[in-house]
């Protein structure tokens, strides 16, 4: 796909570490390559070697990239931060923009890529008795979010009809609580996002100019209290102590 800004061949990298899976993908002059592994808690060590291998195989360096797509969440707090920080670092070094992509939109697009489903409801296990929820349709084109992405109790997700397929770790972790949504069809797809789909969605957004500068690349947690800094936690703890005196 050509770079509409300069008529040069496009070079985009995509990364994702929002769940137990860690992956990277590269689009370089029409060729696509990727690395993918499911190894929880090793993303920080695995991601950069993946990227190095992809760039080396393609014979390019980060300075030749046109943009960096990344899984912006929701997902594991640490994992989302790793992807965001890595994307920022690469984009700053290459002086290019970033392309944030929804983790749940990527899972839905993966279900379309692997199984042809066009309506997918994604539930990711958010721990603490909750799920990250997002329902996407029109997956053969630009995914259309139905309603909004949210974090909620499994029993609070909107009901589905039989035209929907479902995917994500939340359907396995909260089977009984999500029973009212069993009109949906399990896709059989892997429950995690893949950098190939981050890349696919990122290319579309890049072509439309939907990019952000590295300093504006921010993770999406949905559960805002999890994103509080240690300083905020200590300040709140001190305030509670003062009130109890």
Q: What ranges do the domains of the chain cover?
A: 11-103+193-232, 105-186
Rounded Cα gap, residues 90 and 64, in angstroms:
11
Split the chain (245 residues) into runs of 10 and give each run's mean pLDDT.
52 97 96 95 94 97 97 96 97 97 97 94 94 95 94 91 90 85 68 97 96 97 61 50 48
Q: CB-based contacts of 145: which residues, under 8 Å, 6+ apart?
A: 102, 105, 134, 135, 136
Smallest CA-to-CA distance from 214 within 51, 44, 55, 85 is with 85
**11-103+193-232, which class in CATH?**
alpha beta
Enter the DSSP assignment of 32: E
For residue 242, the model assigns a pLDDT of: 53
Is 105-186 in the same CATH topology as 11-103+193-232? yes
For residue 7, the model assigns a pLDDT of: 47
For residue 8, the model assigns a pLDDT of: 54
Question: What backbone phi and psi angles, to 5 degrees, belong to 104?
Answer: -75, -35
For residue 229, the model assigns a pLDDT of: 43
pTM for this one?
0.87
Residue 181, SS3 per DSSP: helix
For residue 195, the model assigns a pLDDT of: 98
Which of these CATH numbers, 3.30.420.40, 3.40.50.1480, 2.10.109.10, 3.40.190.80, describes 105-186?
A: 3.30.420.40
Q: How far is CA 231 from CA 141, 184, 234, 237, in A?
A: 43, 43, 5, 10
């Amino acid at each position: 796909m050509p770079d509409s800004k300069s008529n040069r061949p496009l070079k985009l990298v995509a990364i994702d570490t929002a769940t137990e899976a860690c992956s990277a993908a590269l689009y370089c002059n029409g060729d696509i390559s990727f690395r993918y592994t499911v190894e929880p808690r090793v993303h920080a060590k695995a991601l950069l070697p993946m990227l190095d291998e992809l760039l080396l195989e393609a014979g390019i360096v980060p300075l030749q990239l046109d943009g960096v797509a990344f899984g912006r969440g929701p997902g594991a707090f640490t994992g989302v931060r790793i992807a965001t920080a890595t994307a920022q670092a690469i984009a700053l070094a290459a002086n290019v923009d970033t392309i944030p992509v929804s983790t749940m939109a990527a899972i839905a697009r993966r279900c379309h890529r692997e199984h042809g489903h066009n309506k997918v409801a994604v539930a990711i296990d958010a721990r603490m008795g909750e799920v990250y929820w997002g329902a996407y349709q029109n997956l053969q084109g630009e995914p259309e979010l139905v309603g909004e992405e949210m974090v909620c109790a499994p029993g609070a997700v909107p009901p589905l009809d039989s035209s929907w397929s479902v995917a994500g770790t939340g359907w396995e972790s909260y089977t009984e609580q999500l029973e009212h949504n069993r009109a949906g069809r399990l896709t059989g797809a892997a429950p995690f996002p893949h950098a190939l789909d981050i890349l696919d969605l990122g290319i579309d957004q890049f072509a439309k100019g939907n990019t952000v500068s590295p300093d504006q690349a921010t993770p999406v947690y949905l559960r805002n209290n999890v994103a509080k800094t240690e300083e905020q936690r200590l300040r709140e703890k001190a305030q509670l102590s003062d009130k109890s005196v």
